[in-house]
Amino acid sequence: MAEAPMQDPARPWPPPAGAYAEERGLFQLLQNMLEELLIHKPDDPIEFMINHLKQNNDDAPRICVLGPPASGKTTVAMWLCKHFNAIRVSHETLLFKEVLMQTEEAKAYKERNQKIPNALWANLIQERLSNVDCIKQGWILEGFPENQEQAWMLQSSGIFPRHVVLAFVQTRHRSAAPFTPRILFFGPPGSGKSLQAALIAQKYDVVNICCGQLLKEAVADNTKLGELVKPYIDSGCPVPDNLVLKLLTERLNALDCLTNGWVLSGFPRDVKQGEQLQKAQMNPNRVFFFNLPYESIMERLSQRRTDPVTGERYHSTFRPAPTPEIQARLRQNPKDKEENIEKRLDTYYSNIKALEHFYQDAFYVNADQDPYVIFEFIESCIIKPLPCKNIRSL
């Protein structure tokens, strides 16, 4: 019997589709819909979700402001309402401002100086929060629930606040998007970008891409793009942006980069290149700027030496040659001469402020410390989910 033909493995979502879904909150919407299904367990899930999408505004705040008497609940609630254009719901508004079906019954208890039953409060709140203005604009519930029974009744009525105010103020919302690392490293020469990229790639199996190395590999492999790049590499002239971007786009669209993610250094070098990368839908989701003092840069680079026999690299201070024989034959790369380091730094610093403004959600790394301390910081920024951009924060 003939064997069934092998099917190609399913390709992951291309970056443009993932970026579109992440920017427009589609992952968050999917998570909210799944939560609603699990909570309500409707007999007709399709009809339930249609109604949910018609009525529910998942960006609208649903917040409880709780606290003892004179703790400032009203002030905080009114401030939140103004900030979010939300509806304030409190004892006062329910009994004296709203015209609800059960308001008169609640007022009667109040006039007789009797405690309003928890069930009646729950019904009043449910009726008010089901109005169109609360659904569309969101609501700030002040002073409710007052006890565990009221909280249980509110939840039984389908009222699930997203936040109690203190937690809401102190916590930034997190994206529900599935995460494939797309990491950019910026930093002056000698700041340790290559080492950190190698450590990240080794631990998380992401693809380590150095733009300069990518260009050299294209030339060495005699690819069509490599033939176009070769004259620029040989003459030491900058490779035109269109060639670099074409080569980079081809690499970042490869299956291993789409599946595992990538860490990129050496591109973009200026805002124009950053805009080109963005236009090509190769958007990073983590950006790091390495900061290193001028003196440390000079110390790291100007004292580097290479053994022409073995290719081994040494440093006069941090890793001296083990024997006088090796020491005698060491050579310095011309790019590590002080005058050439100065030129490279001038180029880097002439563009870095604009790039920092372009990538406003970037992390900043103190590169003048132990490499493994730096790695732990970068790792913590990568594994933590980012704040969700489409939800307002205080």
Q: What is the pLDDT of residues 159-198, one digit of tens each?
A: 656 555 544 444 444 444 456 889 999 999 999 999 999 9
User: In a 3-state reduction of DSSP, which class is residue 89?
Assistant: strand
User: In a 3-state reduction of DSSP, which class is residue 287?
Assistant: strand
Q: Is the pLDDT of residue 392 over 70?
A: no
- Stretch 252-276: mean pLDDT: 90
Q: Is the pLDDT of residue 3 over 60?
A: no
Residues of the chain with pLDDT > 90, as a percent, come to 26
138 contact partners, CB below 8 Å, separation of at least 6: 57, 60, 61, 62, 63, 84, 86, 87
**pLDDT tens for each residue of 25-78:** 676 677 777 877 887 888 888 888 877 776 655 567 778 888 788 778 888 888
Q: What is the CATH number of domain 182-383?
A: 3.40.50.300
Angle subtended at Cα 198 by Cα 361 and Cα 315, rounded to the nearest 5 degrees: 110
Give 56-170's CATH code, choosing from 3.40.50.720, 3.40.50.300, 3.40.50.1820, 2.40.30.10.
3.40.50.300
- Stretch 119-129: mean pLDDT: 81
Between β-strands 304-306 and 313-315, what pairing exists: parallel, antiparallel or unpaired? antiparallel
**pLDDT tens for each residue of 315-357:** 888 889 999 999 999 999 888 899 999 999 999 999 999 999 9
Cα 49 versus chain centre, distance: 28
Distance, CA of 211 to CA of 217 (rounded, Å): 10
Residue 1 binned pLDDT confidence (cut-offs 50, 70, 90): very low
- Lowest pLDDT segment from 86-95, 161-170, 278-287, 352-361: 161-170
Token couple for 233: 């590499």
User: In a 3-state reduction of DSSP, which class is residue 17?
Assistant: helix
Q: Is the pLDDT of residue 266 over 70?
A: yes
3-class DSSP string for 293-312: CHHHHHHHHHCEEECCCCCC
Residue 183: DSSP 8-state: E
pTM: 0.59
Q: Where does the chain show beta strands of DSSP type E?
A: 62-65, 87-89, 139-142, 163-164, 182-186, 207-210, 262-265, 286-291, 304-306, 313-315, 363-366
Delimit the domains of the chain by residue range. 56-170, 182-383
118 contact partners, CB below 8 Å, separation of at least 6: 147, 149, 150, 153
3-class DSSP string for 146-158: CCHHHHHHHHHCC
